[in-house]
Each structure stands twice: as C-alpha cells, then as structure tokens.
Structure 1
Amino acid sequence: MSQNLKTYLLLFFYALCFAQIWGVCYLAPYFSNDYTCAFGMLFSFVGTYWIQRDFKFQLKLWQKLFFLGLLGLYCTSRIQGDWHLFLFGPYFLSFVFVGFNLFLFKDLSKFRNLILVFVLILTYSAYGYFDGWFKESTGWIDERSILIGGELNEDKSTEKKYEVPDSHLDLSQFTFENSQKQKEKIETDKPYVFIATWNEDCRPCKRAIKELSPMLDTLQNLETYFVYVSPKNYDFSTFQSSMKEIEQFHNKKVLADHELSLFSATKMQAYPTFLLVNQSTSTIEFMTVGYSPSKKSLFEEKLIEIETK
C-alpha cells in the first residue's frame, strides 16, 4: 500500500471518529447539553492538532481539504438544508476549529491561539446558544396541541389542523404487545392513565421521556404507559432493542401498539402524542401533540391537578 493511500485511509478513519464525537456531543438526546457542546468543540480543536502532529505537520493541501471535506459533508447531511441552523450551531464552530488547526494554528503553546478558542467555546456553550440551536434542530419547538375538554393554549394562526378524535376512549378494548412479545392490555386500579407515545427515530419523544419520568414517578393517582408506535412498519426486534436503550424505562410499563389500534382510534398524526384518560368515565381529559418546555409546564399543571383531586 502506498504511503499516500495509507494517509487518505487514516484521514478517513479520523473523520469518522470526529463524526461520532460530534453526533454524541451535539445530537444524542440523553447526553448532549452545553457541557458536551464545549467538550465537542475543544476536542475538535485539540484533536486536529494531534492529527497534524501524527503526520509530522506534513499533510499536503489536498489531504487537508479531503479531511475537511469529509467533515463538511457530515455537517451538511445533519442540517437538512437549514443554513441558519448550520451557521448557528456547534457543528459550524467545530468545523472552523478544524480548519484553523489545519491551515493556521500549528503551535498550541501560543497563548493567542488558545485564548481565541476558549473564548469562542465559553461564549457559545455558557450563554445559551447551544440550547437554542438544540431546541430548533430537534423539533422541541413544535407547540401545536389538541386539548379535548379544554381550551387551545397555542396560537391558532400557526396551528396544524388535526382531526380531533371522539372524547370517549375505553382503553380496555385495545391489545398491545410487551417486551416479551406477549399480548397485554392496559389494566390498572388507578383512576387515571397517562400515555406517552414514542419510537426509535423520535428525538422529542426521548427527550420527553427523560424529562417527565421523575415527575411521573411521584404521582399516585395515575398509571403511566409508554406506548411504542411505528405506523410504517412495526418490527418487534426494533421495539425491543430500542426499549433497552432508554434507561428511564426500567421498571416502567412499556407496550407496543403493534396493530395500530390506539393509533387509529385517537387519529394520531404525529409524535410524541400524549393522552390523559379518566378510567371511571373512559374519557380523554386532554390530548396534546409535540413536546417543548411549555408542554412540560402543561403536564406539570394538569397532572399535579389530578393528584390533588
């Protein structure tokens, strides 16, 4: 194998490593935050220096552009055409740090190089820029909701028109599949049932599960079920493996709507969809679509109100 080909293969491998780190530090629903954001950008700066050093600072122009181009392709594949998010996000700063180290910053001992990088990292991660980017890029900002038996709190001018289901919902008529591939129904002596839908591709669903679980664990008047929904193609192995990846599901009631019976009955058109059902009257107290900070406040208000009844 020629030395030139070996260099390109190593650079390709390094680019994959960078992509993995960026994915975890910026997009992983359970892990990413302002601290991981800072780590990801710092890793990009220092990591590029060590790559340069590994090649004795003798990378050719085309080799540098090859490495930078691979990372650029990864960045653009994750922003789905929204250049505002790209320029606003940590991917862009990390990409800039890589470019700086490849073409300008070779000597990390120079104070002016380090201070510039640390100021950029601290400014971005410590002043809420990451939180704003993450909210937009993961879909938290979906404020649309359907409230049955209540008022619509969101702006009606931007509301998507969903088909509202009948307010009567007898949960005993639905059969689900559990993690052992056994048929199971929703059965509880508690007066209320709270249902949160999810699947493996829904980052807002996973964020909601993580943030709502501590509060749901404290409530005594309702039973919580996390219902897996996959409208396109249900696969038991995918449901089972996805369930194991979510640590909040430990000792929780997790079922799969394998026949889409609940999905159809409630006319779900998006996830996460959340339902609060009154067991004694078999009625939907509220139904809401999407997850955001304001939705979290809505859940706290509604569910704590249930707890005091």
Structure 2
Amino acid sequence: MATISLHHVNASLEGCRQHGINDLALLARAGINPTAITQNTGRIHTDQVGRLFRLIQQELNDEFMGFTRSRCKFGVFSTLCDLLSHCQVLGEVLRKAIDLYNLLTDDLTISLEISGNSAELSLVLTEPTLDHQHFLAEFLLVIWHRFPSWYIGEAIRLRETHFSHPPPAHRNELRIMFPGPLHFNQSSNRLVFDVGYLQKPLLRTAKEREVFLANYPVDIMTIPGADGSLEAQVERAIVASNTRRLEFLKAEQLADKMGIGKLSLYRGLQKEGTGFQRIKDNIRREVAIELLTQHDRSIDQISEIVGFSEPRSFTRAFRQWTGLSPRQYRTSHLNSNG
C-alpha cells in the first residue's frame, strides 16, 4: 500500500495537539500540505506519513506519540534493534522486545503465547482511554507485524487480528493494513500467526538495520514484498529508468515497458484511487525533499533534477505539494536541526 488514509494522519496529530505542539508546522516539515488534511477521506503517500510520525516522536520525545501517561523516549526502538543483533531467529527477537518494553514502561504490556500451532502476540495499553481514536493501538500492531516481516524477509501471513476497541468507521482501511479476519471488542490487541514463523532465521545485515533505523518508520508503512499494487509497480518502473535527472516516459511507453495496455494502466490506477500524474508528482516531491535537506544544491539545480524546465514552475508545484516554497522548506529543516 503506497498511501495511508487521512484518518490515521489526523489521529496521529492528536497527541501533539494535546501537548500544545504546532501540528501545522509538523505537517509542512513532513512535506504534507496542511490544507490536505481538512477532510477525512483522502490519502497521503507513505513516505510523507512516515516522516510525520518520526517528527511527532522527536518533537514529543515520545515513541508512543503522546497517547500514554508516560513517555517512551525517542531512541528506545533504536536501542532495541541494537540489542537484537545477536538474535538468530524471530522468536528470540519477539521475546527480547517483550522483555525490554515490559521493563521500561508500565503503559504497555506485551506478551507472546503459543496456542496449538498458532503464535499470539498481544499488546495491551494500560489506559486505552488516552488513545480514544485507537491510533496507538493500531500503529503498534502495524509495527509488530511489519518489523518482524522485514527482519525475516517475508510478509508474515496473519491468521487473525484482534482489536480491543469496537469496529471503527475506518475498518475497511484496517482490512488493507491487516489482511485476514478481523475481530473487535476483544480482550487485547493481538496478532495471530503460524507458530513456525518463530523459527524463521533473521536475514538482515548490520548495514540493513542501520538503513532501516535511519528511515524508521517509513519502511514499516508497507508490508515487505507484499505491495503488488499497480501504483507500486508503476513507481518501481519509473524509478528504475531514472538516474541523475528525473525523466518520465509517456504513459503508453511505460505501459508497453510493463507489458500492459495504456487503457489497462489508466483504468487500473483509477481503480486504486490514483493516477499517472499523481505518481509522478509523488516521485518528484520525494526526490525534491531529499535534495532540499542536503543543502549542497541550489534551488535552481534541484528544479532541473526533478524535471522542471524553470524554477518558478518547481516552486509553484512544491508549494502545492507541501504548503511551503522550496526555500521555506529548506529553512524550516535547517532551523529544526540546527
């Protein structure tokens, strides 16, 4: 899934608002135009959402993002990953994670139970009323499905996913996030999967863990190896054909490269709620944001790299994407890291 529902974007900001943090500034720094979240039915690219979640955690110094009585300080997950370096199989990873979190916080209890040929990973918030939109509960389930999947190099097939809260208005989104049967009003938030996964070897190197942590939580926004959407295929095809300067094939050329018809491409993307132009804009925006944070290229140079014929067009497009001009975005990033 290359996009996230606006419900989860809006819900993630609630902890910031309760702590008096300027959520509009965080949105802009994440590359999200604040006007885009005034409705609750659209979608935001996973890279933008991942940046926003990380900024919230850093701003609050809380990996639980303001939804618990006490903070889980930013850096706990990174420390956990360091402690996992000597683990051999997934079961060791989960048990070490359980030990660490149950030692560090009273706001969350994690447990792993074996029931027949199923493993059940449970997460219970001590005060769920502080998480009244259930954002943290759902986000923790995402982390502890996607992170283990990433570590073993394959998507863990969920037999069931349990939620302690009633069925929410966004339950269709949860069906995308957690493939398989969903059960609500349960005793805990729980992931149920085949016990055999606990013996799966860990495939990631130290360098891969380093890159994962540098990007966290961007790389858990999608299930590893499971995003077979047409949108994701188009993104990969476009990125694979570019090097120094972004150049986009015409739709019919890209369709031919992918082995499908032009009309099939358009209809497939429309069915997924996106389009060829939106995908190109997403790629341009992400490349531009990365270059703007590096400070070694001028705005004019970045404009050329991302495929604009002149800087004014780039500035206009970037402001539409993020709510800021490229110069304002660069200044905001510099001030927040200076």
Same fold (TM over 0.5): no
Pick the structure with greater CA Rg.
Answer: 1
TM-score for both structures, normalised by structure 2: 0.27
TM-score for both structures, normalised by structure 1: 0.29
